Amino acid sequence: MRKLSDRTLILSLILIYAAVFVLSFSSGRFPVGPAELMKILLSRLLPITPDWSAQAESVVFNIRLPRILAASLIGGGLSLSGLIFQMIFRNPMVSPDVLGTSTGAGFGAALALLWMLPSYSIPLLAFAMGTLAVLLVWKIASRVPSNQVLGLILGGIMISSLFQSGTSFIKLVADPNDELPSITYFLMGSLAGAGTDELKLILLPSLVPMIPMLMLSWRMNLLSLPEEEALSLGVNTKLIRGIAIAAATAMTAASVAIAGIIGWVGLVIPHITRMMAGTDARRTMPASILLGAAFLTAVDTVSRSVTYSEIPIGILTSFIGAPFFLYLIIREGRRNEA
């Protein structure tokens, strides 16, 4: 695939995201057209005489806008997290689940639902358990100083399995008429409950980690070099790797805390990004954020529009991601045979 220039690539992705953003408001049981949407949004900044209904304004600011922005943050965060993990482990098959972040956060959310804690405690406990999972994996990896990357992968598999077992036990003891359905639906992945309060909760842990990663993007390219060579260039790869893992963990845990477990975004979107932008992190990082945001916003729009009963977004991402990933595997196999 012919690579686009930096400016053309980013501008194209911004336009794609803008189109998805506007079309998302036009879909659903109460559609808001592009012209009406622009006037409603600008009315908060400019003295525009309202010629729209109060219901339309309520739908835009209280329902659609928080949900679309949450989908954008989660999609961009998961995509960037996947790209970061793939660069750290030098393996295109790695995803944000590798360190047990998603399963740990899912366990925390299931625990809050089992104990019937207040709604605001669900994302907090999910974030805490997701962070705990990474800390445990990091502790295990520190015991394998000769090959820390292998220690992280093996530790992630083990910790993820433990948290999955814990979640299964929670489902076993949960009330089948009340608690079990809510736990199961949450873990399927959904943005149905994403409102203004949830958006505020994930804004900082989703957006803030993106800033240092974009600033360190050129240094991320050096992770592919041997440790001694990178140090000779004045780059501490261990420090960069630690910052990158912390940032990716924060973004992944924040997404699970609000939307449950959404698979494939952090695995497939980085692949598409590399096909469009190459392997230079200075191009792939901003591109992956924009592409991930557009993708998840579009999928969420479909999830709430195609049927009367909303489809969990995790199901749709699996339907889309699994066949595409199979295509990538076959494509790579044919390339190796050539």
Whether the Cβ atoms of residue 328 and residue 270 lie closer than 8 Å to each other: no
Q: How far is Cα 139 from Cα 155, in angstroms, rounded to an integer?
A: 9
Give the pLDDT score at 230. 67
Give per-10-residue mean pLDDT for the chain (338 aa).
Answer: 73 96 88 89 87 88 93 96 87 77 89 85 82 85 75 85 94 88 86 84 88 89 72 77 86 87 89 88 94 96 85 87 79 66
Any idea what DSSP says for residue 120? T
Give all domains of the chain, ordered by start, each with its CATH number: 6-337 (1.10.3470.10)
Q: Which of 322, 300, 261 is nearest to 72 (CA)?
A: 300
Q: Work out the angle between the directed axes of helices 34-42 and 6-25 (0-180°, nearest 10).
A: 100
